[in-house]
């Protein structure tokens, strides 16, 4: 079948030693790092900005999967790409001119992606789907790690998989929020390519074993 990727969410990493955490992910054979950017407006929490991304970039070859939970993300797209983001994911709910924002990301040399909150319908991305390297379906209301997976998102994943296949697009499906080794297989079966995991990953070292366990369960 298709390749499944695990993108650990740094939100649950030890922020006092982020550099070491990044190195540990790379040593564990992990390819992606999910970087949660929160502005205190789109979501209640505040996390990290471009300066931290730039600092992490210096010592890391990981694919930086930057999830912007930010109002009017177009204001910061260039800053994150200059800082080393490989992929920039913006929320459809946060940007008025979604097509323009995705084109901006692509023109600046990063992979464009769109995130949808659990209650946001798939119709909002129908026309931009072929332009998206990835669509992120939130399976919790964004803002915090450690929340429970919202069950109706499982149907939404299946619908998105059907939309992508019908369009003949190569768009990846990412799911973020409450992902665990227990639901990984169901998520992949429904059509997910990229699993984000924060608390269910970082709380269970060693990372190499945890990564292998996630992928083994996801693919079986
Ligand atoms: C939630 C963030 C997620 C979060 C996932 O707002 O976008 O990436 O860190 O954490 P878990 O896996 O603990 O639900
Ligand atoms: Zn996220």
Q: What is the DSSP string of 119-153?
A: TS-GGGGGGGGGG-SEEEEESS-TT-SSPPP-TTH
Structural domains in the chain, sorted by start: 5-219 (3.20.20.70)
3-class state of residue 112 by DSSP: strand
What pLDDT score was predicted for residue 114?
98
Give Rg (Cα) of the chain: 16
Instruction: Compute the distance between CA of residue 157 and CA of residue 190 in angstroms, rounded to an integer.
Output: 6
* Ligand nearest to the Cα of 140, by number: 1
3-class state of residue 187 by DSSP: helix
Kindly give the number of the ligand 1 atom that is closest to the alpha carbon of 147. 14
Instruction: Count the neighbouring beta carbons within 10 Å of the beta carbon of residue 26.
Output: 16
Residue 1 has pLDDT above 80, yes or no: no
Residue 62 DSSP code: S
**pTM (2 d.p.):** 0.98
Report the mean per-residue pLDDT for the chain. Answer: 97
Instruction: Count the neighbouring beta carbons within 10 Å of the beta carbon of residue 82.
Output: 14
CB 81 within 8 A of CB 56: no
Instruction: Compute the distance between CA of residue 216 and CA of residue 220 in angstroms, rounded to an integer.
Output: 6
Residue 176, annotated as binding a ligand: yes
Instruction: Compute the distance between CA of residue 191 and CA of residue 2 in angstroms, rounded to an integer.
Output: 10
Mean pLDDT, range 107-134, rounded to an integer: 97
What pLDDT score was predicted for residue 204?
98
Residue 29, annotated as binding a ligand: no
Share of the chain above pLDDT 70, in %: 100
What pLDDT score was predicted for residue 220?
82
Out of 140, 149, 194, 195, mutate this one to test ligand 1's pocket (max ligand atoms within 8 Å of CB): namely: 140
What pLDDT score was predicted for residue 60?
98
CA of 147 to the centre of ligand 1 (A): 7
Q: Which residues line ligand 1 (CB under 6 A)?
A: 9, 11-12, 34, 36, 67, 140, 142-147, 176-179, 196-200
What pLDDT score was predicted for residue 208?
98
Residue 34, annotated as binding a ligand: yes
CA of 169 to the centre of ligand 1 (A): 27
What pLDDT score was predicted for residue 138?
98
Classify the complex by whether its ipTM is higher than 0.95, answering yes or no: yes
What pLDDT score was predicted for residue 174?
98
Share of the chain above pLDDT 90, in %: 98
CA of 138 to the centre of ligand 1 (A): 9
Q: What is the pLDDT of residues 33-82, one digit of tens each?
A: 999 999 999 999 999 999 999 999 999 999 999 999 999 999 999 999 99
């Amino acid at each position: 079948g298709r390749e499944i990727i695990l993108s650990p969410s740094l939100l649950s990493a030890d922020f006092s030693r982020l550099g070491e955490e990044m190195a540990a992910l790379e040593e564990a054979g992990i390819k992606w790092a999910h970087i949660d950017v929160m502005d205190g407006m789109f979501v209640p929490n505040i996390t990290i900005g471009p300066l931290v991304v730039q600092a992490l970039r210096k010592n890391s070859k990981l694919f930086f999967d930057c999830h912007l939970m930010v109002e009017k993300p177009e204001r910061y797209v260039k800053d994150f790409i200059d800082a080393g983001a490989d992929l920039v994911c913006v929320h459809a709910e946060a940007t008025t001119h979604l097509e323009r924002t995705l084109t901006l990301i692509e023109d600046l040399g990063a992979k464009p992606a769109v995130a949808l909150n659990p209650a946001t319908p798939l119709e909002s991305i129908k026309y931009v789907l072929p332009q998206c390297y990835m669509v992120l379906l939130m399976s919790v209301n964004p803002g915090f790690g450690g929340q429970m997976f919202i069950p109706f998102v499982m149907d939404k994943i299946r619908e998105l998989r059907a939309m992508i296949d019908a369009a003949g697009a190569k768009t990846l499906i990412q799911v973020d929020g409450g992902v665990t080794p227990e639901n990984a297989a169901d998520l992949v079966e429904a059509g997910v390519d990229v699993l984000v995991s924060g608390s269910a990953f970082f709380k269970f070292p060693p990372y190499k074993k945890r990564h292998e366990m996630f992928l083994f369960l996801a693919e079986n």
